[in-house]
Amino acid sequence: MKSGKFWAWVVFALGAAYFFIPLIATVEFSMRMRRGAYSFDAYQIVLGDPRFQATFGYSVLAAIFTIILGVLIVVPAAYWIRLRLPQLRPIVEFITLLPLVIPAIVIVFGYIRMYGSNSPLPFLATDMGTNALLVIGYAMLALPYMYRAVDTGLRTIDVRTLTEAAQILGAGWGTIIGRVILPNVLIAVLSGAFLTFAIVIGEFTMASLLNRPAFGPYLQNVGANRAYEPAALAIIAFAITWGCMSLIQILSRFAPRSANRPN
């Protein structure tokens, strides 16, 4: 087994090299802007760019709406399927996997053709409609992750007993979902939310094809026209992804594990 351990270290070292060299290179490159000395000039320029602030703000807002839409659609469906319609589970699981099968570019192509200004549902006729369509598209991209997160959360609580207890106390469905079920799966929902945020914040394809002033197209535009700023932006994007994933990890420590009672 001695040699096994040696090879494990070799594999790990090679992997670490492949993954860290680009990060180090990007950090190094992003600091080369001032001739002859390392500096944070590229970061200053990027963070001070009004277009950075505008597009980043737009994408954050889009991400928040995406998360809200995703929760509104996924939580009642996942809850109801657990409670009343378990026979629908395979169909719903299949549908939630479809966004992984159908490439994003194909989905948005379909939107452009189906919801154009001359169609019965002219989403693309107005700016607000296009924004809505972008959020819908993002919710679709995040659907597989959101559904899985919420369903995992629901598995750890006793949906049936909680629902019956709430009903005995006179709660309506809105109260049950909003004030009983949702708080119980909040950690799972938040994990799904942060993953959604990480996916949406730098998304390029949909935003670009719908002509929205989002962060992804801005990144692409800077990449095509500047030298050092893209590297700084890559580091910022990596930090955001890292932040989202860390929050998910931290949250998972608070998630209930033992209350697993099959319905």
Partner 1 sequence: MTDLSLSNQAIAGKTAPPSEARALRLPTQWLGVAPFFIFAIMFLILPTLYLMLGAFQNDAGEFTFENIAALAQPSIVAAYWISLKVSLASALIGAFAGLAIAIAIVRGGLPEWIRSATLTFSGVASNFAGVPLAFAFLATLGRLGLATVLLNTVFGLNIYAHGFNILSFWGLTLTYVYFQIPLMVVIITPAIDGLKKEWGEAAATLGATQAQYWRMVVIPVIWPSFLGTVILLFANAFGAIATAYALTGSSLNIVPILLYAQIRGDVLHNAHLGYAIAFGMIVITGLANVFYIWFRTRSERWLK
Q: Which is nearer to partner 1, 18 or 254 (CB)?
A: 18
Q: Which is nearer to partner 1, 47 or 107 (CB)?
A: 107
Q: Which is nearer to partner 1, 104 or 190 (CB)?
A: 104
**Which of the ranges 43-51, 53-61, 106-114, 184-192 carries the binding residues for partner 1, by CB under 8 A?**
106-114
The amino acid that residue 252 corresponds to is S
For partner 1, the binding residue among 46, 71, 104, 188 (CB under 8 A) is 104
Instruction: Tell me the Cα Rg of the chain.
Output: 22
Question: SS3 sequence, 164-200?
Answer: HHHHHCCCCHHHHHHHHHHHHCHHHHHHHHHHHHHHH
DSSP string computed for 38-106: --SHHHHHHHH-HHHHHHHHHHHHHHHHHHHHHHHHHHHHHHHHHHT-GGGHHHHHHHHHHHHHS-HHH
Q: How far is CA 11 from CA 1, 19, 20, 21, 23, in A?
A: 15, 12, 14, 15, 19
Q: Which is nearer to partner 1, 184 or 229 (CB)?
A: 229
Q: According to the binding rule CB under 8 A, does residue 209 interact with partner 1? A: yes
CB of 9 to partner 1, least distance (A): 7
For partner 1, the binding residue among 61, 68, 114, 169 (CB under 8 A) is 114
The amino acid that residue 125 corresponds to is A
Kindly identify the residues of this chain, within the stretch 222-251, that bind partner 1 according to CB under 8 A. Answer: 223-224, 230-231, 233-234, 237-238, 241-242, 244-246, 248-249
Q: How far is CA 227 from CA 23, 54, 82, 224, in A?
A: 17, 21, 52, 8
Kindly identify the residues of this chain, within the stretch 74-103, that bind partner 1 according to CB under 8 A. Answer: 74, 76-77, 79-81, 83-85, 88, 92, 95, 97-103
Kindly identify the residues of this chain, within the stretch 140-169, that bind partner 1 according to CB under 8 A. Answer: 140, 167
What whole-number distance in Å separates Cα of residue 47 and Cα of residue 253? 33
What whole-number distance in Å separates Cα of residue 162 and Cα of residue 184? 10
Q: According to the binding rule CB under 8 A, does residue 130 interact with partner 1? A: no
DSSP 123: G
Q: Which is nearer to partner 1, 126 or 249 (CB)?
A: 249
**Which of the ranges 4-12, 33-41, 45-53, 150-158 carries the binding residues for partner 1, by CB under 8 A?**
4-12
Q: Which is nearer to partner 1, 19 or 254 (CB)?
A: 19
Neighbouring residues of 78: CB distance < 8 A, sequence distance ≥ 6: 92, 147, 150, 151, 154
CB of 91 to partner 1, least distance (A): 9
Site string for partner 1, 30-69 (x = CB under 8 A): x---------------------------------------
CB of 186 to partner 1, least distance (A): 20
What whole-number distance in Å separates Cα of residue 245 and Cα of residue 238? 11
Number of residues that bind partner 1 (CB under 8 A): 86
